[in-house]
Chains A and B, each alone.
Chain A
Amino acid sequence: MALVFAGVCSHAPGITGRTHLAKPEDKDSFHAAYDGMRVSLEETRPDALIVIGAEHFANFFMNNMPTFAIGMGDSYEGPIEDEAWLGIKKHKVPGNRDLSTRLIQRVMQDVDVSYAEEWKFDHGIMVPLNFLTPRYDLDIIPININCQGPPLSPLARSYALGQALRRACDETPERIALVGTGGISHWPATPNSGKINEDFDREFLGIWAANKKSELLAYTDEDIYRRAGQGGFEIRTFIAVAGATAGATADIRYYRPIPPFAVGCTIGVVNLQQAGMRTAA
């Protein structure tokens, strides 16, 4: 079949764990935007959801850090964090070993990836799932891009990962949904937590939504760190989605800095019907 849905969303733990600290209107409007994304996703009747995340030392560490890792389990578990701290109960999350294996084999033709049969999801995947598949009834295929422990891969490689993933999706019989999740500018879990550079965010989201490849890949890590904090390295997940949807533009359905959530909260959905994108039957 093909890629039937693609989008991006935020995953900061405060979104579910510190809801009481945000203004009700901020929290409610963002949660409603997430709900809207779920409705759009469900309308495409996906067989599986790929989540490209940027985990935070839940599974991958500097002893053996994969640049890119794809899950190959029949199931996963999460959240790894304290349930009360994150505001999400522990769940067994369904995976799909067979589909994962086929996708990994195809992606490997173009981009070297690690695979993992075991994976404990942290907030980086659980926050999106909490809104997008709240009944945990859709097969999830996690992908991680190392955005935490430098050296980080060049942005162009994340774009290439997305392109490779797209080829793999187009060759599988299943209907695949894809979500990239990361922060734009943010300084998570540091004294600057809550700082958000709205100018950087709006600039980046504009480029991302227009899928301007050369501008997306022109950022350097030093530039990102200065303007967007270490959390800004997670734009790699957005860039991978851009790679998977080259030729299509996207709509930013929601963007609002919400300091108690420590990130500019974002929901974006790609217009997949554009530019010769295969339309779901």
Chain B
Amino acid sequence: MILYYLQKLLFQLNRDPATRKQYESDFDGLLMEYDLTHEEKEALGKPDIGLLYVLGVNGQLLMHYAALKGYAWPDYIQSMKDGVAQHGPVRAGIYTMVED
């Protein structure tokens, strides 16, 4: 799991107009530039916001991707809950820093 690059892509997408352009015109080419797992690529493409959350993407990055994909705020929140129900607890990243 290379969460770093998944988050890096979303970081660039949120702040860099050129990345946004490439996202729209050449999604597969953009993915090639980041070291992503098959599961990560699928989750981005669908998009599966819930799975991206479970994979460990920080909400501060993810909420903007959800907004870009047309999710209203309550739908964004619900999709994360659905993701956990479907895929299990968050696997990596900041939300796993304390064991319950």
Contact = CB atoms under 8 A, between A and B. Distances in A.
Interface of A: 18, 21, 56-59, 61-63, 80-82, 85, 120, 148-150, 188-191, 193, 221-222, 225-226, 230
Interface in B66-100: 67, 73, 77, 80-81, 84, 94-95, 97-98
A230 B14 contact: no
A85 B8 contact: no
Contacts of B59: 188-190, 193
Interface residues of B, number: 24
B60 A56 contact: yes
Given A148-B58, A191-B84, A80 B11 contact: no
B61 interface: yes
Nearest to A224: B98
A58 B14 contact: yes
- Tell me if B's interface is mostly helix, strand, loop or mixed: helix
A21 B74 CA distance: 11
A81 B8 contact: no
- Tell me if A's interface is mostly helix, strand, loop or mixed: loop
22 contacts: A21-B73, A57-B11, A57-B58, A57-B60, A62-B8, A63-B8, A82-B67, A120-B15, A148-B58, A150-B94, A188-B59, A188-B60, A189-B63, A190-B53, A190-B95, A191-B53, A191-B80, A193-B59, A193-B77, A222-B97, A225-B97, A230-B97
A191 B98 contact: no
Nearest to A17: B73
A59 B80 CA distance: 25
